[in-house]
């Protein structure tokens, strides 16, 4: 799922943006959640701090709201460098935005070509920016979805034989026990996951270091996991190239 968060007060502008999003949703047949926060709120703060899904923020940087909306954009960037920001503004405010906000996806000069420009931007995001791959599992008659990019590694409990999935949520490490074998889970995962040990599968994109002599790998969280067997070195290094 993709979340588009509007920081927009003007109702006419909201309508135009939502119209574009509806067109893309129909064309792509993908689920898009639209949220709108005309002002700073507790709910907006919670949304910024929730990193479960990639988010695209669209900010109507108008003359009246520019100070408060600039602060909101700064709060977003302080917490979240993965999601993207699109500003709808005018040329007189371009310098202000560039001086205060990093990693801007686009700035749209309003009202010139707003809808066509925004349509093109969101289409680019949909095709190139979003990692929507989910690991879908059954647990106690419920379906659980975990974004694959959030998974760190998966091990097998020696006592109850259950698999333990270690993943991140809002910068915290979580774990989930499931009644699946590692072989079954490996078949559900994509190519970023490699076997590092007979009892471990790891997300190679979350690995920042490996020591085959001492048999451990290091994750981007700083955690050291002592489940790295030289037996799998050739496979890991081959699959990690690029």
Task: Identify the residue with better confidence: 134 or 225.
Answer: 225
The answer to whether residues 10 and 95 belong to one domain is yes
Query: Roughly what angle, to the nearest 10 degrees, separates helices 66-79 and 42-49?
Result: 30
CATH number of 211's domain: 2.40.50.1020
Torsion sign over Cα 107, 110, 112, 115:
positive
**Stretch 88-105: mean pLDDT, rounded?**
90
Percentage of the chain beyond pLDDT 90 is 61
pLDDT at 164 over 80: yes
3-state secondary structure of 185: helix
**CA angle, 2 then 191 then 105, to 5°:** 35
Which pair of tokens denotes residue 40? Answer: 């700073």
What is the pLDDT at residue 132?
66
In a domain, 52, yes or no: yes
The answer to whether residues 215 and 189 belong to one domain is yes
DSSP 25-54: HHHHT--EEEEE-SS--HHHHHHHH--SS-
**Tokens 């076997």 correspond to what residue?**
195
The answer to whether residues 164 and 102 belong to one domain is no
DSSP 76-109: HHHH-SSSEEEEEE-GGGHHHHHHH-SS--EEEE
**Tokens 């994509």 correspond to what residue?**
190
Which of 142, 141, 148 is CA-nearest to residue 165? Answer: 148
The answer to whether residues 229 and 146 belong to one domain is yes
Percentage of the chain beyond pLDDT 70 is 94
What is the pLDDT at residue 239?
55
**CA angle, 61 then 125 then 174, to 5°:** 100
The answer to whether residues 167 and 118 belong to one domain is no
Distances (CA, A) of 220 to 149, 169, 186, 210, 212: 12, 14, 21, 12, 18
* Residues spanned by the domain of 10: 2-129
In a domain, 134, yes or no: no
Residue that is last in its domain, among 97, 129, 161 = 129
The answer to whether residues 91 and 27 belong to one domain is yes
Residue that is last in its domain, among 129, 163, 192 = 129
CATH number of 12's domain: 3.40.50.2300
pLDDT at 34 over 60: yes
What is the pLDDT at residue 158?
81
pTM: 0.67
Residue that is last in its domain, among 129, 163, 180 = 129
The answer to whether residues 39 and 115 belong to one domain is yes
What is the pLDDT at residue 63?
63
């Amino acid at each position: 799922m993709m979340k588009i968060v509007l920081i927009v007060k003007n109702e006419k502008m909201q309508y135009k943006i939502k119209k574009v999003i509806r067109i893309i949703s129909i064309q792509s047949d993908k689920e898009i959640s639209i949220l709108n926060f005309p002002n700073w709120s507790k709910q907006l703060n919670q949304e910024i701090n929730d990193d479960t899904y990639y988010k695209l923020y669209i900010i109507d940087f108008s003359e009246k709201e520019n100070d408060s909306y600039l602060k909101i954009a700064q709060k977003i960037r302080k917490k979240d460098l993965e999601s993207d920001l699109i500003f709808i503004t005018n040329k007189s405010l371009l310098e202000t935005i560039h001086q205060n906000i990093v990693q801007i996806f686009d700035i749209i000069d309003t009202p010139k070509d707003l809808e066509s420009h925004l349509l093109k931007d969101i289409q680019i995001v949909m095709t190139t920016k979003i990692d929507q791959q989910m690991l879908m599992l059954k647990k106690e008659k419920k379906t659980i979805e975990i974004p694959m990019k959030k998974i760190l590694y998966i091990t097998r409990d020696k006592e109850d034989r259950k698999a333990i999935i270690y993943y991140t949520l809002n910068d915290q490490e979580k774990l989930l026990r499931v009644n699946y074998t590692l072989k079954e889970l490996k078949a559900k995962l994509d190519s970023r996951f490699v076997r590092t040990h007979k009892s471990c599968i790891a997300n190679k994109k979350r690995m920042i270091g490996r020591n085959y002599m001492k048999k451990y790998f290091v994750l981007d969280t700083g955690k050291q996991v002592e489940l790295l067997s030289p037996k799998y070195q050739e496979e890991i290094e081959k699959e990690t190239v690029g």
